[in-house]
C-alpha cells in the first residue's frame, strides 16, 4: 500500500438501550480532517466528525470487571485513567467508476460535528456523494444523514445497509425521524452481500442486529472497515473479552470481537476503525495482554 503524506435473530429490545445511548452522546469539538490513503486504484479518506470522551465509570468499558480494573489496565499503558477518548467519523472511498462512496456519516449536525467541513477538505460536496454505506444505526453513524433542519444531507445518495439493520433503525425512537427522511433512498442487502464493485459487506454480529463491516478491495490490496467491532484502541484490543455497554447483545459482541481480532491480527489485515485515534487506519498486532494498535498514518 502506498500511503499519501502523511442473530439476524438478535432481539431489537436488547440493542435499544445501546442505540439510545449512542444518540445521547454530544461529541467534543475537533478540527476537520481528511487524510488520503492509496488502496490499489482507489483513494480512501478518513473524514473526521467529532470526538466522544467516555468516562471510566463502568457504564461502557469493562462493565463486567469495573472501573478499578479498567483504570489499572490504562495505567499500565500510560493512559489517563478517568476517561477513554474515542474518535467519531466516516470513510470516503473514491475511484470506483461513477461512484463517490461514504461509509457512515457521524453525528447529528446539531451536535457540532465537522463531517461536512472534513468532506470539503477532501474536495467533496454533499451532492457529489452517490452511495452511503451504513455499518449500523447508532446516532454517531447515521446522524449525519440529515441536515440541521431534518432534510436529507446528501440529496443524490443511495443509502445502503443490511436488511436487519434497516428493520432495527425503523423501530428505534431515536432514529425514527432519520428513517422517515431517508426511507425513499434506502436499499437493503442480505448480510455478507457484495454491495458495490470492490466492496463486500462483512457481518459482524452482536453490536446491533445487522451490524456490518465493509471489505474494500482493489487489485491485491484491501482494507476492512470494522465499524463498532472495537471501540477503544487500548481497552478493546488489550481486553477484547471485557463487556462493552454499547453492544446490544453483549455475549455475542464479545465473541465476535475475540474472533475477529484474532483473525485480523493473524492475517495482518489493514483496517479502518472509526473510533480509534484519527485517522484510524492501521493493523492489529499481537501483544500482552491481547493485542495492540499499529497505526499506518499519524
Question: Is 248:18 a contact under the CB 8 Å cutoff?
Answer: yes
CATH architecture of 12-295: 4-Layer Sandwich (3.60)
**Alpha carbon distance 182, 243 (integer Å):** 33
- The size of the chain, in residues, is 298
Burial class (CB in 10 A: 0-12, 13-18, 19+), 278: buried
What pLDDT, on a 0 to 100 scale, did the predictor assign at position 37? 96
Cell of residue 104, nine digits? 457512515
Q: pTM (2 decimals)?
A: 0.91
**Alpha carbon distance 283, 264 (integer Å):** 8
**Alpha carbon distance 275, 231 (integer Å):** 5
Please name which of 264, 254, 260, 274 lies closest in space to residue 207, comparing C-alpha atoms: 254
pLDDT, one tens digit for every residue, the chain (298 residues):
444 433 333 333 333 344 444 444 555 579 999 999 999 999 999 999 999 999 999 999 999 999 999 999 999 999 999 999 999 999 999 999 999 999 999 999 988 899 999 999 999 999 999 999 999 999 999 999 999 999 999 999 999 999 999 999 999 999 999 999 999 999 999 999 999 999 999 999 999 999 999 999 999 999 999 999 999 999 999 999 999 999 999 999 999 999 999 999 999 999 999 999 999 999 999 999 999 999 998 7
Tell me the domain boundaries of the chain. 12-295
Question: Is 130:101 a contact under the CB 8 Å cutoff?
Answer: yes
Cell numbers 442505540 correspond to: 19
Distances (CA, A) of 221 to 38, 185, 268: 9, 31, 12
Question: Is 106:141 a contact under the CB 8 Å cutoff?
Answer: yes
What pLDDT, on a 0 to 100 scale, did the predictor assign at position 93? 98
Amino acid at each position: 500500500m502506498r500511503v499519501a503524506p502523511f442473530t439476524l435473530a438478535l432481539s431489537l429490545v436488547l440493542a435499544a438501550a445501546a442505540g439510545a445511548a449512542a444518540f445521547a452522546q454530544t461529541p467534543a469539538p475537533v478540527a476537520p480532517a481528511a487524510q488520503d490513503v492509496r488502496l490499489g486504484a482507489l483513494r480512501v479518506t478518513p473524514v473526521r466528525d467529532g470526538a466522544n470522551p467516555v468516562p471510566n465509570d463502568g457504564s461502557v468499558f469493562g462493565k463486567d470487571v469495573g472501573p478499578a480494573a479498567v483504570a489499572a489496565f490504562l495505567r499500565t499503558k500510560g493512559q489517563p485513567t478517568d476517561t477513554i477518548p474515542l474518535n467519531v467519523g466516516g470513510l470516503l472511498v473514491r475511484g470506483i467508476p461513477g461512484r463517490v462512496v461514504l461509509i457512515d456519516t457521524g453525528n447529528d449536525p446539531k451536535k457540532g460535528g465537522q463531517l461536512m467541513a472534513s468532506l470539503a477538505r477532501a474536495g467533496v460536496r454533499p451532492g457529489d456523494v452517490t452511495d452511503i454505506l451504513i455499518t449500523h444505526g447508532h446516532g454517531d453513524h447515521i446522524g449525519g444523514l440529515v441536515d440541521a433542519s431534518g432534510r436529507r444531507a446528501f440529496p443524490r445518495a443511495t443509502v445502503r445497509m443490511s436488511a436487519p439493520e434497516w428493520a432495527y433503525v425503523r423501530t428505534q425512537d431515536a432514529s425514527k425521524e432519520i428513517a422517515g427522511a431517508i426511507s425513499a433512498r434506502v436499499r437493503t442487502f442480505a448480510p455478507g452481500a457484495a454491495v458495490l464493485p470492490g466492496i463486500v459487506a462483512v457481518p459482524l454480529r452482536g453490536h446491533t442486529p445487522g451490524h456490518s463491516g465493509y471489505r474494500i478491495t482493489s487489485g491485491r490490496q484491501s482494507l476492512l472497515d470494522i465499524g463498532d467491532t472495537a471501540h477503544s484502541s487500548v481497552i478493546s484490543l488489550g481486553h477484547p473479552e471485557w463487556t462493552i455497554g454499547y453492544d446490544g447483545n453483549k455475549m455475542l459482541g464479545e465473541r465476535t470481537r475475540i474472533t475477529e481480532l484474532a483473525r485480523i491480527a493473524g492475517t495482518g489485515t489493514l483496517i479502518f476503525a472509526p473510533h480509534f485515534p484519527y485517522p484510524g487506519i492501521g493493523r492489529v498486532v499481537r501483544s500482552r495482554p491481547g493485542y495492540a494498535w499499529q497505526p499506518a498514518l499519524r
